[in-house]
Amino acid sequence: MGGSHLPGNRVIIYDKVLQQDMYYKGVVILSYTVRYPYFSSDKYQIALDKLNHYYKTRAYKYVKTNIMMLYQMAMVEYEYAKANNFPVRPFDVVTVYEITYNRHCVLSLYFDRYEYTGGAHGMTIRTSDSWNIACSSPIRINDLFLIPEDVNAFITDTIVEQIDQEVLAEMEFFPYFENYETLVKENFNPNNFYLNDRGVIIYFQLYEIAPYASGIPEFLLPYGIGGAVRPRYC
């Protein structure tokens, strides 16, 4: 079924995966799974092919450079563990993605890239993209707020207000660092957002404003008057 027959000009998404167990001296020392999307649509395939090329190239480059570098590290760790009678802990690398918005020529998604290289836990880094597929251009955060003042200041003030409300709620486990107001303003990255049906989601990386156990902090800025504009390009 073609993309244009789906409700609201939705795009069809196919899942692509690069996957391998990497051996050294007969032992798996690194496993990786890298997922990336392939987009299809009757009407906007030329624009989508640019995105398809971009995500495929990015996935293959990550395997060729970052994962090969981690494999070299894993070999060193293996030799060190063997020399000291430590258990060998294989490295683990997983990239997954989530399509969070797909209608009216708007595609939004995020990638979580997890790398475990020994130690207590692995690290996850999130990246995201939002696209206007009618003209294959990225959607910027400034495109989503029709306010005359500084958009970044508006967003960080709103996030600090949301955390303030949690302080007032006197939660038993407060999930943020005490100096959250400073950290929100210092670590806010205008590229770290994605769209869903309810609004714009702003996120921070692990450790930026909260302990590891809190995960990746997310904040919703809803669509509506005085808030975010729901994008629509076809």
pLDDT in tens, 102-156: 999 999 999 999 999 988 889 999 999 999 999 889 999 999 998 867 999 999 9
Q: CB–CB of 136/51 below 8 Å?
A: yes
Q: What would the CATH number be for the domain defined by 3-138?
A: 3.30.565.40
Tokens of 162: 């949301």
Residue 5 pLDDT greater than 60, yes or no: no
Q: pTM (2 decimals)?
A: 0.92
Residue 162 pLDDT greater than 90, yes or no: yes
> Where does CATH 3.90.640.20 sit in the chain?
141-222
Q: What is the pLDDT of residues 191-231, one digit of tens each?
A: 999 999 999 999 999 999 999 999 999 999 999 988 899 99
φ, ψ of residue 123 in degrees (nearest 5) = -120, 140
Secondary structure of residue 73 in the 3-state scheme: helix
Residue 77 pLDDT greater than 60, yes or no: yes
pLDDT of residue 7: 53
Determine which of 46-55, 56-65, 166-175, 191-200 has the lowest per-residue pLDDT on average: 166-175
> Where does CATH 3.30.565.40 sit in the chain?
3-138
Residue 1 pLDDT greater than 50, yes or no: no
Distance CA 95, CA 73 (A): 19
Distance CA 55, CA 64 (A): 14
Q: What would the CATH number be for the domain defined by 141-222?
A: 3.90.640.20
